[in-house]
Amino acid sequence: MIRAAILAFDECYASSVGGFADLLQVANAHLRRQQGTAAAQFAWRFVSPSGEAVVASNGLQLQTHRLDPRECYDLVFVPSLHYGGRRRFDRVLARQADACAWLVAQWHAGAWIAANCTGTFILAQTGLLDGRTATTTWWLERQFRARYPRVDLQLRPVITEAERLICAGASASYLLQAIRVIERFVGPAIASQAAKSMLIDVSQTSQIPYLPLLAERTHADSLVQRAQHWLQHNMARELRISELAAALAVSDRTLIRRFRAALEQTPLAYLQDLRLEAARALLETGDQRVDAIAAQVGYRDTSSFARLFRQRIGMSPGAYRGRFQINPAP
């Protein structure tokens, strides 16, 4: 029997908690079919520091068993938790001291630990990720790096694995994470069958196509705000930094300095991201040719546009459309 503990706590996502167990259940069905009832199967228990019922973020009440320091597991899953704002999130994390100590003890006893999405913050608080590779949900990157500077945070991969510590990106990636765990414990054949049964696309290995190029950074620099609006309205034209500076009645140097201070990038880098985001939207919602889209967002050379798109987004414009197009034509 492969003993698994699924950690539950108030504000966790019920889909993450229950969905991970569902995948283990599917794996068990394939194990029995392929290897008979004597095959080593997953057995799981929902646990919490108090052993009392916890309330998931959607209001669902989950019954749990109390953490027992004498009980050792082969696998521990830390689900994602709802982010209800920074202060609320900080309070939730502050309540996890007992869970963190238990996770450290389980890992030292030989358990694998899988943390999903915001659950990686809890795993990082244990110190186990210090000096090791990890990933998390892309939109909390800055918070994660500020809190845990010793963790080697990588946002390109959907899944990272380092010394029995498996981290995953945004919440729905628990599906891919569960498949990885199944593979590690019972082999690739059962993992592949479980993935196919649940229609899980295991080719999704990178978060890059999902990451926004234009980060939501708030600032109060009115000059930069005017520059952003000007670029948004003129992005299809061939532009030089001097033209933008002249339109705003400032020097090139002042514009670049203010832009870097407010957005941590140059105006031309911002323009490039602006164009690529516009191209992504057109690929997702329309059926224009790639060369027409390139021209519409300011690129006269289609091959240069395609090369830049692949470099920044991680796939060609055609492949991006094939994966993300909304209501594609039959």
Tell whether 232 and 204 lie within a shared domain.
Answer: no
**Residue bearing tokens 């514009």:** 255
Residue 72: inside a domain:
yes
- 22 and 77 Cβ atoms separated by less than 8 Å: no
In the prediction, which pLDDT does 330 show? Answer: 59
In the prediction, which pLDDT does 209 show? Answer: 87
Tell whether 46 and 163 lie within a shared domain.
Answer: yes
Tell whether 134 and 201 lie within a shared domain.
Answer: yes
Query: How does pLDDT run across 262-318, given as a tens digit for each residue?
Result: 999 999 999 999 999 999 999 999 899 999 999 999 999 999 999 999 999 999 999
Domain extent, residue 23, equals 2-210
In the prediction, which pLDDT does 77 show? Answer: 98
Helix (H, G, I), strand (E, B) or coil at 162: strand
Tell whether 21 and 68 lie within a shared domain.
Answer: yes
Q: Report percent pLDDT > 90 for the chain.
A: 87
In the prediction, which pLDDT does 37 show? Answer: 87
Query: How does pLDDT run across 185-240, given as a tens digit for each residue?
Result: 999 999 999 999 999 999 888 888 888 888 667 889 999 999 999 999 999 998 89
In the prediction, which pLDDT does 147 show? Answer: 96
For residue 156, the number of C-alpha atoms closer than 13 Å in the C-beta half-sphere is 7
Looking at residue 268, which CATH number applies to its domain? 1.10.10.60
For the chain, what percentages of helix, strand and coil (3-state, to nearest 5) are there? 50, 15, 35
Tell whether 84 and 227 lie within a shared domain.
Answer: no
The DSSP 8-state label assigned to residue 166 in this structure reads E
- 113 and 106 Cβ atoms separated by less than 8 Å: yes
- Residue 167 and residue 40: Cα distance in Å, rounded? 25
Domain limit, last residue, from 210, 239, 258: 210
Query: How does pLDDT run across 57-104, given as a tens digit for each residue?
Result: 999 999 999 999 999 999 999 999 999 999 999 999 999 999 999 999
Tell whether 147 and 241 lie within a shared domain.
Answer: no
Tell whether 184 and 87 lie within a shared domain.
Answer: yes
Residue 242: inside a domain:
yes
In the prediction, which pLDDT does 328 show? Answer: 66
Tell whether 171 and 191 lie within a shared domain.
Answer: yes
Helix (H, G, I), strand (E, B) or coil at 17: helix
Amino acid identity for residue 220 in this structure: A
- Residue 83 and residue 12: Cα distance in Å, rounded? 9
Tell whether 141 and 247 lie within a shared domain.
Answer: no
**Residue bearing tokens 């010793």:** 150
Average pLDDT value for residue range 138-154: 95
Query: How does pLDDT run across 43-61, given as a tens digit for each residue?
Result: 999 999 999 999 999 999 9
Tell whether 180 and 227 lie within a shared domain.
Answer: no
- Residue 174 and residue 10: Cα distance in Å, rounded? 18
Count of domains observed in the chain: 2
In the prediction, which pLDDT does 327 show? Answer: 75
**What's phi and psi for 264, nearest 5 deg?**
60, 35
Tell whether 234 and 156 lie within a shared domain.
Answer: no
Average pLDDT value for residue range 117-123: 97
Q: The pTM is what?
A: 0.85
- Residue 159 and residue 202: Cα distance in Å, rounded? 11
CA angle in degrees (0–180, nearest 5) for 142-145-147: 105
In the prediction, which pLDDT does 217 show? Answer: 75
Looking at residue 57, which CATH number applies to its domain? 3.40.50.880
Cβ partners under 8 Å of residue 299, min gap 6: 275, 305, 308
The DSSP 8-state label assigned to residue 149 in this structure reads T
Residue 40: inside a domain:
yes
